[in-house]
A and B are shown apart, each in its own frame.
Chain A
């Protein structure tokens, strides 16, 4: 299956950012989801949460102005925005597990048509698994969106009927943003919400392991 020229990684992050309204408390997973914050203007007051106890993550610091005591979940230097607060790990995960986050955007290996998420382990033997806060976020946030490439590099679909990788959380994903589409996960399975410019629903569906319903009016 040939690769399609859809959205770039920056476009993907920008596309998610456009759907985050002012006032939400949002956790961004490590990797690609971290980029989303760069596309939410500081005037749109979104509270970005970092699992290590920060509510109100601000823009990246200019080179040379990093504070070694301020990092995000990916251990990268960050700043605080006006209004930021810092808590300890138990309170930070009370924010996550207590249902106080409006949204969490995670990376993924696979998303099932039933909303299951696999994003923490490939199950390879002899390799130490690491989970971090992924299971807490998957189980605790009010909404879980996934931002990932539509298919693996070898073309293997990542939107599938049922995940085959070890699960992170069950029935939790409500929307997936990929390089070629925005797809809702509904009780009826995957439903197309938006196709990237120049991409057809047939092309999107051909790169999935589960049925895709057309955009609903």
Chain B
């Protein structure tokens, strides 16, 4: 029997160690699996690389991880928050690396990793500072930048409903980066809000098929 439900957050995060590369879903605070990120901050980890669109934001557990010095590098499109954060301080002191990626390129790099596309060319950022040092080729008369696929050891994502196969649905704008991150990580760990019996999710409404998901923790722990 396939059963991806795990009984505890500890079991959900099992195996995440120092030096891991971790994707965290969400756009702003919406669709970010706050329970999982908060629990990650209890593990005393070091040298993490975090891939999250708003890494450096002022919400959820990432600021705490950054303040702890657990994160060596963030890969994101928008590290800025309305208020000054631990990220700003560490960045100004040169103690955290930032790989700034245009948001569409970030999404496409993640999608490409999940789809087995090792690299692609895009006109986005051609001629700008964010293309510095990258291969540029003229395709159909436009300058295009070579971008590489982006994968991770773990993905922490937030879903709305889940069944024991790991099939997932999402709520409203909570979808954002979650489905693509599920495809691009070695171990995808989903925080879901509702447990559903196998066979009760309409197949055509499932956004992430369970084959992309290794573990599901139900918020409230009713697994």
A residues touching B (Cβ–Cβ < 8 Å)? 50-54, 67-71, 75, 86-90, 92-93, 96-97, 121, 126-136, 139-140, 166-170
A92: chain B residues at CB < 8 Å are 107, 176
B100 and A129: CB pair below 8 A?
yes
The segment from B38-46, B166-174, B196-204, B215-223 found at the interface with A is: B166-174
A97 and B128: CB pair below 8 A?
no
Q: Answer whether residue B148 sits at the interface, using C-beta atoms and an 8 A cutoff.
A: no
B128: chain A residues at CB < 8 Å are 135, 166-170
Q: Which of these, A71, A96, A130, contacts B104 with CB under 8 Å?
A: A96
Per-residue A-contact encoding for B96-118, CB less than 8 Å = 1, 0 else: 00101111110110110000000
B103 and A131: CB pair below 8 A?
yes
Closest to B183 in A: A90
Closest to B88 in A: A128
Closest to A170 in B: B127
User: Total A-B pairs in contact (CB under 8 Å)?
Assistant: 134
Q: Answer whether residue B124 sits at the interface, using C-beta atoms and an 8 A cutoff.
A: yes
B130 and A131: CB pair below 8 A?
yes
Given A70-B173, A93-B108, the answer on whether A139 and B126 have CB atoms closer than 8 Å is yes
A169: chain B residues at CB < 8 Å are 127-128
The minimal Cβ–Cβ distance linking A5 to chain B, given in whole angstroms, is 31
The docked-state distance in angstroms from the alpha carbon of A21 to that of B122 is 29
The minimal Cβ–Cβ distance linking A171 to chain B, given in whole angstroms, is 9
Closest to B115 in A: A90
The docked-state distance in angstroms from the alpha carbon of A135 to that of B143 is 14
Q: Which of these, B107, B124, B207, contacts A135 with CB under 8 Å?
A: B124
A93 and B174: CB pair below 8 A?
no
Q: Which 4 A-B pairs have the closest CB atoms?
A: A136-B104, A93-B104, A69-B172, A130-B80
Which B84-104 residues have a C-beta within 8 angstroms of A?
A: 87-88, 91-92, 98, 100-104
B residues touching A (Cβ–Cβ < 8 Å)? 27-30, 53, 56, 77-80, 87-88, 91-92, 98, 100-105, 107-108, 110-111, 122-130, 143, 170-180, 207
B129: chain A residues at CB < 8 Å are 121, 166-167
The docked-state distance in angstroms from the alpha carbon of A88 to that of B125 is 22
Q: Can you offer 12 A-B residue contacts whose CB atoms are under 8 A? A: A52-B176, A53-B175, A86-B173, A88-B178, A89-B175, A90-B180, A93-B104, A97-B104, A130-B100, A136-B104, A167-B129, A169-B127
Most chain B CB inside 10 Å of its own CB: which residue of A88, A92, A126: A88
Given A135-B125, A139-B125, A139-B126, the answer on whether A89 and B174 have CB atoms closer than 8 Å is no
Q: Which of these, A71, A88, A128, contacts B179 with CB under 8 Å?
A: A88
Q: Which of these, B105, B110, B124, B175, contacts A86 with CB under 8 Å?
A: B175
Most chain A CB inside 10 Å of its own CB: which residue of B30, B100, B101, B173: B173
The minimal Cβ–Cβ distance linking A57 to chain B, given in whole angstroms, is 10
B104: chain A residues at CB < 8 Å are 93, 96-97, 133, 135-136, 140
B30 and A71: CB pair below 8 A?
yes
Q: Which of these, A52, A67, A127, A140, contacts B27 with CB under 8 Å?
A: A52
B123 and A139: CB pair below 8 A?
yes
A96: chain B residues at CB < 8 Å are 104
Closest to A136 in B: B104
The docked-state distance in angstroms from the alpha carbon of A129 to that of B76 is 11
A70: chain B residues at CB < 8 Å are 30, 172-173
Given A69-B30, A71-B28, A71-B30, the answer on whether A131 and B77 have CB atoms closer than 8 Å is yes
The docked-state distance in angstroms from the alpha carbon of A134 to that of B100 is 12
The docked-state distance in angstroms from the alpha carbon of A87 to that of B177 is 10
A93: chain B residues at CB < 8 Å are 103-104, 107-108
A130 and B78: CB pair below 8 A?
yes
The docked-state distance in angstroms from the alpha carbon of A127 to that of B79 is 10
B91: chain A residues at CB < 8 Å are 126, 128
B103 and A128: CB pair below 8 A?
no
Most chain A CB inside 10 Å of its own CB: which residue of B92, B102, B111, B171: B102
B175: chain A residues at CB < 8 Å are 53, 86-89
